[in-house]
Structure 1
Amino acid sequence: MKKMNFSLALAILMVAITSFVAVAEDHNHHHENNAKQLSLNNGSKWMIDKSLHTGMSHIREEVMSNLNAIHYNNFSDKQYDELVPVLEKHLTYIFENCKLPVQADAQLHMLLAKVMQGINKIKNTVDKKQGAILIVQALKDYPTYFNDPKWQVVEH
């Protein structure tokens, strides 16, 4: 029952983010200055827990192991379709296990929203590569805002 409730909550969150993204993209030029952005904790990176490192590292590994094929347009629609549930599994792990203080958690949700937007683009658009680019951007943003000493920098 708990797993079903979490799955339902995750599905609702993804629908909400998808709706938000669609509205935001339509009206982006009107509201650029009002958009919420990731920020530091009074000039310092946000602390993380082990589960966040684990989940983000798994997402990084999945994307980076396929990045050359994605970059050079050699990643098929089938491969994208196979990548989506793997990335969703790692996101679910983060949502189920990560326990951060409220303000850090709010920042994390903004970062993960970008990952979810990327997954949504992979699932629902012709140019799936743009979804992968959003995920790579989130992976590059992660060490800027979160104190993960074991993080391997995304270079691309």
Structure 2
Amino acid sequence: MKKYSFVWTLAGLGLAVSMSLTALPSMATEHQHHGVNTVELQLNAGQKWQTDAPLRQAMRDIGAAVNSAYDAIHNNQLDAVGYEKLAAEVNQQVAYMIENCELEPAADAQLHIVIHRMLDSAQVMEKPSAIEEKREGAVQLIGALESYAKYFSDADFIKPAH
């Protein structure tokens, strides 16, 4: 995909390459009703979508952060600071993807479904709320990572184990 396509498609989510990391979660909120969560991910004619190095790196970093916190999340032992750190990692890596990822347009459109779900989950984890709600955000993030593993070609990605 050409970089302009990625930026153009991100505009549909209300994101811009030059935005600050703190703006990412609020932008996700503004656009949560645009049908992204109701759109189904699809394979590319029965095959996983191709990825590029920046996307793979960012997703591996998010996956590593989730995997390192997975037991604490699963056992209801992660505290608010842990959820906030996880959300910050998601926001940082999504910003990296936005700046560096270059996918073909159809793959890009599919990726945006995953990105939206990840940003939604980060927003839930970082807002002042009960730990149970933050945990639900982490569970949503795990689901987004599982979708990435199912629909995108990334042999080195380690999805959260459960």
The TM-score bracket by the shorter chain reads: 0.7 to 0.9
Q: Under a length normalisation based on structure 1, what TM-score does the superposition of the two structures give? A: 0.81
Q: How many residues align?
A: 143
Deviation at 1:10, TM superposition (A): 8.3
Any residues of structure 2 matched to 1:6-155 within 5 Å, and which? 6-7=18-19, 11=23, 14-21=25-32, 23=33, 35-124=38-127, 125-126=129-130, 127-155=133-161
Structure 2 gaps of 5+ residues are 1-15
Q: Which has the higher helix share?
A: 1
Q: Give the aligned partner of residue 28 of structure 1.
A: none
The percentage of aligned residue pairs carrying the same residue is 30
Query: Aligned to 1:6, what secondary structure does the other structure show?
Result: coil
Q: Distance in 2 between matches of 1:153 and 1:9?
A: 24
* Offset at residue 152 of structure 1 (A): 2.1
Q: Which protein is bigger by CA-based radius of gyration?
A: 1
Q: CA RMSD in A?
A: 2.5
Change (3 A) 1:83 1:143: closer
Unaligned runs of 5+ in 1: 25-30
Give the C-alpha shift of residue 15 in structure 1: 3.5
Per-residue deviation, residues 64-120 of structure 1 (Å, max 9, x unmatched): 101111111111112222332222111111111110011110100101111111101
CA separation in 2, counterparts of 1:153 and 1:60? 6
Inter-CA distance 104–9: structure 2 relative to 1 (3 Å threshold): farther
**How many Å separate the matches in 2 of 1:82 and 1:17?**
18
